[in-house]
Structure 1
Amino acid sequence: MAPVDPNITLLKIIFEIISAFGTVGLTLGYPNVASSFGTVLSPASKVILGITMLMGRHRGLLASMKDQEVIEYSAVNVLARRREELILQFDRSREARESIVQGLDSSSDVVIERF
């Protein structure tokens, strides 16, 4: 079975698709046509190339959204852990102050002099 147009080869189609996905704008061209190879393609092929360009342009969008979810979740954990540490530190310092105050109350003969 012979192709309809011998100037449209599989190599040119693959090159156009990779170029569209990379959104680099390269084309191999078409003989006796001043515009790009995409102008001689059917409307359905042009739509597929356009969708491929959009997919290539936003190829990192889904991965970055997954990273944001992980970062947001880990930030919540870090903040919760930090809050627990601060509460524990506050409780320990309060207990230390209370023990100092109790020690001062029990020994009434402590004299504090100013130097």
Structure 2
Amino acid sequence: MSDAKPKAAVVLALARAEAGAVFHELQRRADAAEADAMRLRALLIRRDTEIAQLRDELRLLHVETPDLRTRLELVRENRRQAEQLVALRRALGGGAWRAEARVRPAFGT
């Protein structure tokens, strides 16, 4: 029976060592998760700050240039028409429109 106490002490010591190792691993993972969460919070704060600054700049542009929306719409329409013109020129056969332009006299000459 005296042999049971040393065995129990050994088992208890092994269990404590294993529990301690598990605890330290869990603590390490929790610390890593907390560090990752802080890094992600910092990224969100930076992103939100940049968005707020861009919104402020846009508001300022709208105040300084009241017709900015109209200008932007004109730019979009201009781009759309330029793309359509390129598509139409390609449909004409690539370089055919260039040859016609060289033969025709320019307006006002």
Within 2, Cα distance between the matches of 1:99 and 1:80?
A: 29
Q: CA deviation at 1:44?
A: 2.1
2:83 is aligned to none
Within 1, Cα distance between the matches of 2:33 and 2:7?
A: 40
Q: Once the two structures are superposed, what CA deviation does each residue of 1:1-35 show, in whole Å capped at 9, x if it has no partner?
A: xxxxxxxxxxxxxxxxxxxxxxxxxxxxxxxxxxx
Within 2, Cα distance between the matches of 1:109 and 1:59?
A: 73
Q: CA deviation at 1:53?
A: 3.3
Name the count of aligned residue pairs.
71
Consecutive unaligned residues in structure 2, runs of 5 or more: 75-109
Partner SS, residue 67 of structure 2: coil
Consecutive unaligned residues in structure 1, runs of 5 or more: 1-42
Q: CA deviation at 1:61?
A: 1.1
Query: Map of 1:2-81 to 2, 5 A cutoff?
Result: 43-57=1-15, 59-81=17-39
Letter in 2 for 1:63: A
| RMSD, aligned CA | 2.1
State the TM-score, normalizing by the size of structure 1: 0.51
State the TM-score, normalizing by the size of structure 2: 0.54
* Aligned structure 1 segments of 4 or more residues deviating by more than 6 angstroms: none
- Percent pairwise identity: 13
Within 2, Cα distance between the matches of 1:63 and 1:109?
A: 68
Q: CA deviation at 1:45?
A: 1.4
Q: CA deviation at 1:56?
A: 4.4
Partner SS, residue 44 of structure 1: coil
